A and B are shown apart, each in its own frame.
Chain A
């Protein structure tokens, strides 16, 4: 490593909330709370200011697959085939009457839950709708594996829990299956699944022209981007109306994780092999462009279990089975550094969010934390590992000066 580059940091804090392998970590949009969940179904919410648990409860009977804060709710998804939505927990107002009494843990309450299919370990994907499209019972869409067929996806609405689109990806089965995925893509035809590969990871989003799209990573290492082409009907069944924009297979092993930049332009996939796939989501038509748009970058490490992209879309972090966290530039996949702490595989990663500094300054307790500290905090990376450790890493900004 060159001398002028600062050495990799040690974790600044460790959160000791779990005694089982940590599967999921997540940082709230305002960087105030860290969510972590483990294989025993325990969810812990930790304040980033005090680094103490705000709440800790057993949300699921089995390991957690995903957790996300969505406005005033927390969505948790477990391997016990349940998806729960909880009332969110906020930091209590600091020390009433200046007493030193430590506030106890808060209780959260279940708002509603859904029965889902969690056989394939695939995490849900939440797509909050823009304000204009919201109705009372429909403020977000959530993509989940299909209830019967793990290789298909469903899209539901929240909070009404209505299935909007069922079995996305199914309609393509009926078409002529290609003999081989690569051949298919060279012919300019969408690659069609010849086998029922289960979905490993997905991402539901709305494109710039408000078209609903879904990006899915499969067990065989392929990734496909589909769009809902029908304008007339809001709902669909049997995957009718969904068409694949492109499908490509960069990985030799199954896709373990998928990350998309906040502006939905670039996606990265990590897999058990040494490849990191980079996909340009703006490519409209499959063709020669696809070869340049979807690139397999070879890394020097094998076995990646998770990947995440920072808000600014410049840096990504990949957690490996060797417990190392490797940082790469999103654009070039150039390695930026490696963080070493976890002894088991690093199974979960989350970047803090870049909060705009001109956000409304909080009155009252706003001075509890300085702007500088906020800036530092927005560069945090949180990692969770099989060794049941959750660590907070303060990173440099990686911006050129």
Chain B
């Protein structure tokens, strides 16, 4: 079977080998043929190999023969690259296979020399041409195949023992390391260093592979120190991509280079070999120590020095090399951010291996390598981060030899990096800052993982406190925070973000429509002045957080220190301090400020110390809002001075980077504090709000008692002018309600309105009037509605007291009146507050026949002195109408009331005012004085306020005030401002509507004459108004939102109510009927037409004839005597018909 197969394979090879021998002498004409044959042979070999057929040695010899013939018969310069390539490829394939195991060393050496010659270019020396990269690549591959150690799997495949492979490798190694061979080796080494800089990627890759093999296995111990510098410098170049090809290094290449470096470093300067040669000493036990103490410098081990090319490892050599090596490794820092995970992983392995292998020889490189590992352990790629963490854990676990040294280094690194950040930040060295931040973060993360793992596995328990303690020490009382804190704060200059993305609804809209169910928004982020990239800023944030997380309660000292600084002022330094404190606390507590969806609330048990700090913090932060107003008022000059300073600085049009400008003399010393004293009140507010939210996040449901203090600042900031503060406040509110498990911010406010009210009321005192407090109150009244109103009376009273005192200040007055208006609106919205004012008059004269009317008069005449109150409440009280005859029962009812005290049963008596009514009454009576306020908007607002109060108040409460203020109200009708007039008309309308009988006389006597002249004026004014309706007979304006439209409407409604209310003099009615005709025109606004129809219907109830006459005469010629009334251009026919039809129906 085997025989048969051997034969078959042999036949296959024979087909190509025979003609190959035939054309072994290469002529230009035969090149193509030879190449063809060689390729066929290669193909056949690959096929055979794929079929797992093992070439016998005879077959190998058979194949080898034609190839060797070609090489022998032609001078190497004559052999074209293509042929050489193919020949060597075939060698490689065979070597990969069985040949490596059994070819004799001479053949092996020949092949080695051949490939080596091609790689080094010796073979073509002096002939002015070099082999192509492809050829060299093939040669390098052949070398690799020659030198490579075989894996266990391969051993199995070739049914060889692993020992066989070892033996064979040792054999080859022995041969290579032989004194004669070393120069060859050096040559190969040199040329492969050259080829690995090639831009031909396969060549580069294979060269690195070759180098790795050489360095790892074949270079003698003595030689490795000699080749170390060269290899390292080349490899650094390769890894960093500083090759002549200028291409950035591929991940695989970087990995290869790092592996080579790792190999040579460990070989050349590793602990083991150096200890062995006496360059360093390993002190492991007492004996070692005594040896060290006795200082017995034993002679360095001989033996190794006999090699001619060897370098001796001595102490001075070590020092020199180590520092050079450090520089080289240092230059690879940028590799930590290599985008390719393969490269990063290689760096992990490299760092870990070097750390593990050179703890004695390269102590100064340790932090560097650790920093690589740490930075990589935070990589986004899990495939990088995980190995990095694992190797760190491995290195730091007690089982590792180097962990003592590493721990110390680690803490020192944390310290150093922390100290470095203040230097790097102003230099705009983003990358370095980010690196430092990441290193610190990684160290802290390591502590956390270690402690976690120790909890879960119980390993390293004895060990873990040391690092946490270390970090804790850094942030604790003995950490010297005063030393590193100030520099850090002085360079952390926070800025508000350039753009604040506000929700489309916005806070101002919130004031309009009262919805507080905001969508949960994230806290708007800040930016650092000295940091351009967001990622660096985030790295700094994460750094602070992880510091907090790692040191747990220890860092509360630092947090307190930061808070202390932060609360000391409102400068950028305080902002930075609060920022640091916030991040530390976030770390300690595990609470992260974000949108509620993102919050990952860890239900970890918060320590007492933390809770205590949080509580104190919430209070002291809230106190800031108490001081703020005074402070802002107190120092108006300060900001301008700073502004000047800033402008001075800005005059220099240059981008200063890195170096701080030094000016000699006094000015220089002035410069710095000025920079540190830029006030950032809004940023300070925002960060304080964040901290407040954070405390709520920490305390969760236990923070509810703190709402006394914390809620007001948040609400106050929601109505602030700065959109950044507003947005932060909105986010805070959402966060707070989430963390204290309220369903929505609205619920939060509703449940705690008493606290807010309390806070507001404190800000309405004479000594302290906060204009924004009025806005908060408006917000609150809108939200909480009647509950607030019931308890707000003394706040309202304070409002008025302040109004009295500050009536000259428009902004205060506006704010306060807004509150009052809001209160009245809320009261109005309540159902039970409505008082039914019944219109009294229904044309008595017509209803009762003459005799009865007279009787009624007499009856009234006799009883008119009965009781004032009775008279007052007569007819328009909330009582149902009753016949006149029952009038005398009223006193009885009164006595009954006295007896029973049951006031509700007595319809004639005024019910005691509800708190809301009392409040409204209070508002009305006190706001009347503002009817003559100098500012027109205030006048209009007061009128509107009264207008909304009319439907709410019982007459006994309202009428005296109105009576008192009547002249003022009336005078508003001749106010120079249109909107005041319109507001006054609205008030009169409301009065007429709700208390007609009281008003009608005043209306006919006082108001109507004014209205009439106003109507005339407006008619004239409309002609010139741009908004006026166009077209024939048009009346009023197009829009229903103009003042003139409102005015018309109010007038019509007022007069309707007046007509209904009282029997007027005929002359006046006639006048009215004549004046309002034009509103029936179909050219008028629909609403006005409707009002006008109502008016005419109302007039028609009393005086149908007049209406008929006027309307008919306007539309058509009724009679010559009334022809003057004809106004056809108004086109009022349609409405006239409606009105007349309506009148006929009744």
Contacts and interface: CB of A to CB of B under 8 A. Distances in A.
A298 interface: no
A52 B794 contact: no
Given A99-B741, A100-B740, A13 B758 contact: yes
Contacts of B702: 94-95, 98, 368
A50 B794 CA distance: 21
Contacts of A335: none
Contacts of A95: 701-702, 704
Given A95-B701, A98-B701, A100-B704, A16 B754 contact: yes
Contact of B791 (A11, A16, A94): A16
B767 A10 contact: yes
B708 A13 contact: yes
Interface size band for A: 20 to 34
A269 B767 CA distance: 32
B616 A100 contact: no
B794 A387 contact: yes
Nearest to B759: A13
B611 A12 contact: no
A108 to B, nearest CB: 21
Nearest to B740: A100
A10 B768 contact: yes
B794 A14 contact: yes
A50 B701 CA distance: 13
A359 interface: no
A195 B779 CA distance: 61
Contacts of B751: 102
A100 B707 CA distance: 12
Contact of B705 (A16, A49, A343): A49
A393 to B, nearest CB: 12
Contacts of A357: none
Which of B611, B742, B794 lies at the interface centre, i.e. has the most chain A CB atoms within 10 A of its CB?
B794
A380 B262 CA distance: 73
Nearest to A53: B754
B628 interface: no
B755 interface: yes
A104 to B, nearest CB: 12
A388 B794 CA distance: 9
A370 interface: yes
A100 B742 contact: yes
A10 B765 contact: yes
A50 B708 contact: yes
A368 B765 CA distance: 30
Contact of B608 (A49, A367, A389): A367
B755 A51 contact: yes
B612 interface: yes
A16 B919 CA distance: 15
A389 B794 contact: yes
Nearest to B703: A100
A12 B765 CA distance: 11
B876 interface: no
Given A12-B762, A94-B702, A95-B704, A343 B767 contact: no
Nearest to A15: B758
Contacts of A13: 708, 758, 762
Contact of B761 (A14, A19, A99, A367): A14
Given A49-B705, A368-B705, A10 B762 contact: yes
A142 B793 CA distance: 38
Contacts of B742: 100
Contacts of B758: 13-14, 16, 51
B754 A52 contact: yes
A387 B608 CA distance: 42
Contacts of B700: 98
A342 to B, nearest CB: 10
Interface in B573-629: 608, 611-612, 615-616
Interface in A66-125: 94-95, 98-100, 102
Nearest to B761: A14
Interface string A188-226: 000000000000000000000000000000000000000
Contacts of B790: 19
Nearest to A102: B751
Contacts of B943: none
B616 A370 contact: yes
A95 to B, nearest CB: 5
Interface string A219-261: 0000000000000000000000000000000000000000000
Nearest to A387: B794
B757 interface: yes
Nearest to B743: A100
A188 to B, nearest CB: 53
B701 A99 contact: yes
A197 B448 CA distance: 80
Nearest to B748: A100
B329 to A, nearest CB: 52
Interface in A365-392: 367-368, 370, 387-389
B797 A14 contact: no
Contacts of A98: 700-702
Nearest to A373: B619
A95 B702 CA distance: 8
Nearest to A98: B701
Contacts of A387: 794
A344 to B, nearest CB: 11
A51 B742 CA distance: 20
Given A49-B705, A389-B794, A370 B615 contact: yes
A19 B915 contact: yes
A370 B612 contact: yes
A10 B701 CA distance: 30
Nearest to B742: A100
Contacts of A51: 708, 754-755, 758
Contacts of A49: 705
A47 B105 CA distance: 99
A16 B767 CA distance: 21
Contacts of A367: 608, 611-612
Interface in B752-788: 754-755, 757-758, 761-762, 765, 767-768
Interface in B852-878: none
A16 B795 CA distance: 10
Interface string B679-716: 00000000000000000000011101100100000000
Contacts of A94: 702
Contacts of A16: 754, 757-758, 791, 794
A28 to B, nearest CB: 18
A239 B758 CA distance: 50
Which of B615, B700, B705, B742 lies at the interface centre, i.e. has the most chain A CB atoms within 10 A of its CB?
B705
Interface in B96-116: none
A382 to B, nearest CB: 14
Contacts of B611: 367
Interface in A147-170: none
Interface string B635-656: 0000000000000000000000
Contacts of B793: 19
B553 to A, nearest CB: 14
B71 to A, nearest CB: 86
A19 B704 CA distance: 26
Contacts of A52: 754
Interface in A292-324: none
Contacts of A343: 797
B727 to A, nearest CB: 25
A388 B915 CA distance: 13
11 contacts: A13-B708, A13-B762, A16-B794, A51-B758, A52-B754, A95-B702, A98-B702, A99-B741, A100-B704, A100-B740, A341-B765
Given A12-B762, A51-B755, A100-B704, 10 more contacts: A10-B762, A14-B761, A16-B794, A19-B915, A50-B704, A51-B754, A98-B701, A99-B741, A102-B751, A368-B702
5 closest Cβ pairs, A-B complex: A16-B791, A100-B741, A98-B701, A100-B701, A95-B701
